[in-house]
Each structure stands twice: as C-alpha cells, then as structure tokens.
Amino acid sequence: MATKASIFRTIAHSRKTCRRFQPGRIIPQATLQDILQSTIRSPSSFNLQPSQIILVQSQPVKDDLSEHAMIGIGNQYRTRQASAVAVFLSDLEPSKRINKVYQLEKEHRHPNYRATMPLATSFLIGEGHAATLIKGIATQFLSAVQPMPDVEPVLSWSYKNTSLLAQSFVYAAESHDLATAMMEGFDPRRVKEILRIPDRYAVPLVVATGYEYEEESETEPTPRLNISEVVFEDTFGREWKHSNDESASS
Amino acid sequence: MATKASIFRTIAHSRKTCRRFQPGRIIPQATLQDILQSTIRSPSSFNLQPSQIILVQSQPVKDDLSEHAMIGIGNQYRTRQASAVAVFLSDLEPSKRINKVYQLEKEHRHPNYRATMPLATSFLIGEGHAATLIKGIATQFLSAVQPMPDVEPVLSWSYKNTSLLAQSFVYAAESHDLATAMMEGFDPRRVKEILRIPDRYAVPLVVATGYEYEEESETEPTPRLNISEVVFEDTFGREWKHSNDESASS
C-alpha cells in the first residue's frame, strides 16, 4: 500500500514536459505494448471508448509531421527526435460505436444497464447541431423540475474522454522512465492529411515520447498554483481547510 | 525501474468504476493532501492550469447534490455514500489566468518563452464567438500556406485540460487503495447552484471517492476494445504491427 502510493507520487512528481529527446532511439516493443495496455484501461462515458491512437515511429512520417504540421521550433524538434509520436484522436460520431460496445458488454453488464445504454448514449451525446439545440431547450426547461443532463457539444465530450487516455499514456510511459511532451502546437488539418485521418476524428493532443537528452534532465519542474488556490471545500471559493503552503515548492 | 512500471501497471489495471461505497468513512487528511499534490502536477496548455476542484466532504452537501443534482439511482447512491466527492471545474475565461501564471513562471522560464506566452495564449484560446469566427477564417486560409493552430472552442480546450487533472486524481486515489467513480450523469446547472459555482466555470466531471463496499470488490473490470482496434501504426487504419490479442482479456 505504502509502496504503491509512494511510487505513484514519484511518477506524478517526476513527470514533466521533455524539452529535447535523444534522436534515433527505439522503444522496446514490450514496453510500448505495456504502455498501451494500461492506456486502454482508462475510463470513458458508457465505456464507449471514443478515441484512437496513431503511434508514429517511422522517421519519414515523423519528419513530415515535423516539417509540415508542427508549430514552433520546439515542437518541430521534439516530433523529429522522439522515438514515438502518439497522435490522439477523438471520435466526433461516437454513436457509431454503440453497437460494437454493446456486443463487447453483453457478457459483462446487468440487463438493465444494457437496456438503457442506447437510449442514454443517444440522449447524452447529441450529435448534430439541430438535435443539440432542441435538446438544449428541453433540458433547460426541465432542469427546473427535475435533474437533467447537460447537452455537451460532441467535441468537448470526445476531448474529455480522449484526455483521460492521454494522461494514462503519459504516466505509463513515465513508469518506464520514458520522457514525454504533450503538444497542442500543431495544425490539425495538416496532421489529418499527413496521417490520412478521416474527417470523423478531431486531434486534441499529440504526445512525443522517448528518451530525454541527458543535458536536459536536470531542469526543474515548472511551478504550479498553490493547492489553496486550486482546491475548495464544499462550495466554490471556500478554502480547503487542510491545505498548506507546500504545493508551490514541491 | 521494473518496480515503477509494474506498480503503475497494477494501478492502471485495478482501477475500475466503484459501484458502491462504504458510507460514513473519512479519508485521512494526509492521504487527500498527497492525492491533491500529485493531481496539481498534471500538465496543462501553457501551464495555464484552467481547472479547480471542489472537494465535497460535508454530508449535508453530498446529500443535497445526491437528491437534487445527480441523475440515476447509482450516481445518487455513490454521491451520498462516497467519502469525498471531487467536482472538477473548467475555466471558460482562461485568459484571466495569464497574469497570475506569468508571475509564477517568471523565475522558471526562458525570457523568449515568457515574451511569447501572452500572445500565444490569446491566439490559441480564442474566447468569444466573434473572435473565434474571425480567427477561424484566417486560420483556414493560412493553413494552406503554413502550419496554423486550430481555433478550438474554449469549452473543449478547457475540458481537455481538466480531464488530464481528473485522471491524475483517480490514479493517485487508486495508489492509496481508494475506490473512485467518474460520473457524468448530473445536472450541471443544479451542481453549480448547490456549490455556488460562478458562471465562468463548466463542470465536466464529478469523481466520487472512498472505500469500496466489500461485497462489490470482486466485480470484474469492464471490457475494452482490442488494442488492434484502438492503436494504428504511422497512418490511420494501418494496424499496429506489434499488437496482439491479449488486450480484450487482460
């Protein structure tokens, strides 16, 4: 117990954005396999798993991304020199997954859950602007009477699920002493063109993964807001009574 | 090294959605403190940290949320019986954070980074519909000539960042043998009213946290798609050559 907690603490506190990777190194396949197996265990709404990952290891494809799609010299270098570039995709038509997940879940779930899943997912996801608008009005009206789910835009809903996966990937990589850099500085249209990604998907994040260049390994972690500024107790704005001043320096 | 990897693997594979918590138990403050310290180390765009957490431990507030804001009997029970309910907030006006983070970063970053941060953030975030529209047109036009970032709706951008934090929270809790349930089935308007959350924030996720009811602890993890369905190699649709059939059963 103590071991698990202290080791996760080490992973969480030592993870940082890698500024420079050692070029030309290959991540062992067993390591990648282990990272991906942990990654796909991340939770998702209704277990719909609306995310895919493209793992770019081929140098010409990395060079192509670096030269034509990445923004900023730092991201261009990282993309070229990282051992693997994990491109995270968010499905914008997640209702197309319902049947597949339903089959997968058949053995696992209570019949009541399975009976309500298609209904619940079609209500919550709200693909399509007209449907969203109509449901939005109904929801706002009914919310005064009974609790109603919000109609989230599918992009936000899908990003949310994919980010859970991306954070899992980063911790799994860190647990193998690999360095990572989550990047948002890229042109998604160009990423989609180079990697032949269908329109159905958005690209919220790209994670460069590899071995940190040794001279960089001494950089300090970036600062964070104090825990008292981030965490409230019971209601908004009320300071968490057990917070202290250690967070800024730890 | 092997220890870190194997322990993270254990955490990732044993995490599951808790169906029932032991009521009336309190999480030690040192444990919560450790979980939150790891949570706030999560990465965010430009280190803007556009998220807050409200940790609800008071039983009357949990009951209020359960009765008036949660959807579905399962979520209602979990909210009432969990030791702590972590409500994650996404800032929809993240540019208001730039000055604060800029001060925090002053000592840490290269002057070039600091000089471009306000410009980069104001360009990437795009708060406000008019600004988003104008930037969207400029971006689409320029993307043909040079790589340009996408103008993401602020809701999606902020959800993405907050989800990274929520996933960290869940792993940190799991590392202390706490059970968690990520929930989306709630009425955000009512959550905001009960917890006095300003309009500036959206509520993407609520995570019930506590001790699993013992009879439930033998439930199997829910199934996942096979790794070959989730991970592609180099370009979309190309099977990752090292994938195998183990993921569905692991």
Summarised one tens digit per residue, pLDDT across range A160-174 is: 999 999 999 999 999
A163 and A236 share a domain? no
A38, A168 in Cβ contact below 8 A? yes
Query: Average of pLDDT values for B161-167?
Result: 97
Domain count for chain A, please give it.
2
Confidence grade of residue B135 (pLDDT, cut at 50, 70, 90)? low
Of A49-58, A237-246, B130-139, the least confident: B130-139
Is B149 within a domain?
A: no
Cβ pair B204:A160 closer than 8 A: yes
Among candidates B9, B71, B233 on the partner chain, residue whose Cβ is nearest the Cβ of A34? B9
Query: Average of pLDDT values for B50-54?
Result: 93
B89, B205 in Cβ contact below 8 A? no
Mean pLDDT of chain B: 84
Distance of CA B95 to the CA centre of its chain: 20
Cβ pair B250:A37 closer than 8 A: yes
Is B153 within a domain?
A: no
Is A148 within a domain?
A: no
B232 and B200 share a domain? no
A211, A181 in Cβ contact below 8 A? no
Alpha-carbon gap: B43 to the closest alpha carbon of chain A (Å): 8
Query: Residue A209: helix, strand or coil by DSSP?
Result: strand
B249 and B181 share a domain? no
B250, A37 in Cβ contact below 8 A? yes
B209 and B240 share a domain? no
A188 and A241 share a domain? no
Query: Residue A208: helix, strand or coil by DSSP?
Result: strand
Is A186 within a domain?
A: yes
What are the DSSP calls for B105-155, one per residue? HTTTS-HHHHHHHHHHHHHHH--SHHHHHHHHHHHHHHHTTS-------HH
pLDDT at B140 over 80: no
Strand partners, A70: A186
Residues B54, B76: Cα–Cα separation, whole Å: 18
Residue pairs between chains A and B whose CB atoms are closer than 8 Å = 332
Is A239 within a domain?
A: yes
B170 and B203 share a domain? yes
Can you state the angle between helices A111-125 and A98-105, rounded to 10 degrees? Answer: 160
Query: Residue B168: helix, strand or coil by DSSP?
Result: helix
Residues 6+ apart with CB under 8 A from A112: none
Per-residue pLDDT, B142 = 62
In angstroms, what CA-CA distances link A67 with A20, A181, B186? 17, 18, 44
Per-residue pLDDT, B88 = 96
Tell me the pLDDT tens digit for each residue of A132-190.
545 555 565 566 677 766 667 888 999 999 999 999 999 999 999 999 999 998 999 99
A178 and A245 share a domain? no
B86, B53 in Cβ contact below 8 A? yes
Residue type, A236: F
Range of the structural domain that residue B232 is part of: 221-250
A160 and A247 share a domain? no
A241 and A166 share a domain? no
Structure tokens at A86: 């994990």
Is A176 within a domain?
A: yes
Cβ pair B147:A70 closer than 8 A: yes
C-alpha angle B175-B176-B179 in degrees, rounded to nearest 5: 90
Cβ pair A175:B236 closer than 8 A: no
Give the start-end residues of each E strand in chain A. Answer: 51-56, 84-91, 179-183, 201-210, 231-233
Q: Which residue has the higher pLDDT, A250 or A124?
A: A124
B205, B163 in Cβ contact below 8 A? yes
CA terminus-to-terminus distance, chain A: 22
pLDDT at A196 over 50: yes
Confidence grade of residue B86 (pLDDT, cut at 50, 70, 90)? very high
Tell me the pLDDT tens digit for each residue of B212-225.
998 766 667 788 88
pLDDT at A130 over 80: no
Q: Could you report the predicted ipTM of this complex, rounded to two decimals?
A: 0.88
Instruction: Please list, residue by residue across A233-245, b when 16 or more beta carbons sit within 10 angstroms of its beta carbon and e when fewer do.
Output: bbebeeebebbee
Q: Which of A1, A3, A8 to mutate to test the interface with B (most CBs of B within 10 A)?
A: A8
Q: Cβ of B13: how many Cβ atoms within 10 Å?
A: 13
As a whole-number percent, the residues of chain A with pLDDT over 70 amount to 78
Identify which of A217-226, B84-93, B100-109, B144-153 has the greatest average pLDDT: B84-93
Whether A1 contacts chain B with CB within 8 A: yes
Q: Cβ of A199: how many Cβ atoms within 10 Å?
A: 8
Cβ pair A242:B32 closer than 8 A: yes
Q: Which residues of chain B lie closer than 8 angstroms to A174, CB-CB?
A: 8
A186 and A232 share a domain? no
Is A30 within a domain?
A: yes
pLDDT at A131 over 90: no
B46 and B90 share a domain? yes
Whether B124 contacts chain A with CB within 8 A: yes
Tell me the pLDDT tens digit for each residue of A61-112.
999 999 999 988 999 999 999 999 999 999 998 888 888 888 888 777 777 6
A207, A166 in Cβ contact below 8 A? yes
B199 and B237 share a domain? no
Cβ pair B7:A8 closer than 8 A: yes
Q: Please return the burial class of A249, using the count of CB atoms within 10 Å of its CB with bins 0-12, 13-18 and 19+.
A: exposed
Nearest to B61 by CA among A235, A18, A24, A76: A235
A163, B159 in Cβ contact below 8 A? yes
Alpha-carbon gap: A163 to the closest alpha carbon of chain B (Å): 6
Say which CATH number the domain at B34 has.
Answer: 3.40.109.10
Alpha-carbon gap: B38 to the closest alpha carbon of chain A (Å): 6
Instruction: Give the chain B residue whose CA is nearest to the CA of A194.
Output: B235
Residues B250, B245: Cα–Cα separation, whole Å: 10
Mean pLDDT of chain A: 84
Q: Which residues of chain B lie closer than 8 angstroms to A198, CB-CB?
A: 236
In angstroms, what CA-CA distances link A163 with A216, A221, B188? 26, 21, 20
Per-residue pLDDT, A128 = 47
Looking at residue A84, the DSSP 8-state letter turns out to be E
A206, A87 in Cβ contact below 8 A? yes
Tell me the pLDDT tens digit for each residue of A5-45.
999 999 999 999 999 999 999 999 999 999 999 999 999 98
Per-residue pLDDT, B248 = 39
Identify which of B42-51, B91-100, B163-172 has the greatest average pLDDT: B163-172
Among candidates A1, A152, A222 on the partner chain, residue whose Cβ is nearest the Cβ of B177? A1
Whether A85 contacts chain B with CB within 8 A: no
